[in-house]
Structure 1
Amino acid sequence: MEEKNLEAIMGLIMYGGNAKSDAMEAIAAAKSGNLALANQKMIDAEASLVEAHHAQTGLLTQEAQGNQMTVTLLTVHSQDHLMTAIAFKDLAKEIIDLYRYIYENKE
Structure 2
Amino acid sequence: MENINLDKTAFQITLHGGNAKDLANDALVAAKKGDYEQAEQLLAEANKEFDLGHQVQSKAMQKDDSDNRIVPTLLLVHAKDHLMAAKTEIKLINELIDLHKKLDK
Query: What's the offset of the Cα at 1:6?
Result: 2.4
Q: Deviations over 1:49-93 (max 9, x none)?
A: 110111011111001363211211101110111110000000010
Aligned to 2:80: 79
TM-score by structure 2 length? Answer: 0.91
| Runs ≥4 residues deviating over 2 A | 2-7
For structure 2, the 5+ residue unaligned runs are: none
Task: Give the AA of the match of 2:43.
Answer: M
Identity %: 31
SS in 2 for 1:64: coil
Alignment of 1:14-29 (within 5 A): 14-29=15-30
Q: Which residue of the partner structure matches residue 96 of structure 1?
A: 97
Say how many residue pairs are matched: 103
Which residue of structure 1 aligns with residue 35 of structure 2? 34
Q: CA deviation at 1:3?
A: 5.6
The code of the aligned residue for 2:96 comes to I
TM-score, length of structure 1 as denominator length: 0.89
Alpha carbon RMSD of aligned pairs, Å?
A: 1.4
1:8–1:58 Cα contact (<8 Å) kept: no
Contact 2:16 2:49 in 1 (8 A): yes
Whole-angstrom CA distance in 1 between matches of 2:85 and 2:76 = 14
Q: Which residue of 2 aligns with 1:43?
A: 44
- Give me the whole-angstrom Cα distance separating, in 1, the residues matched to 2:66 and 2:32: 47
Task: Read off the aligned partner of 1:95 and give its amino acid letter.
Answer: L
1:22 alignment partner, SS class: helix
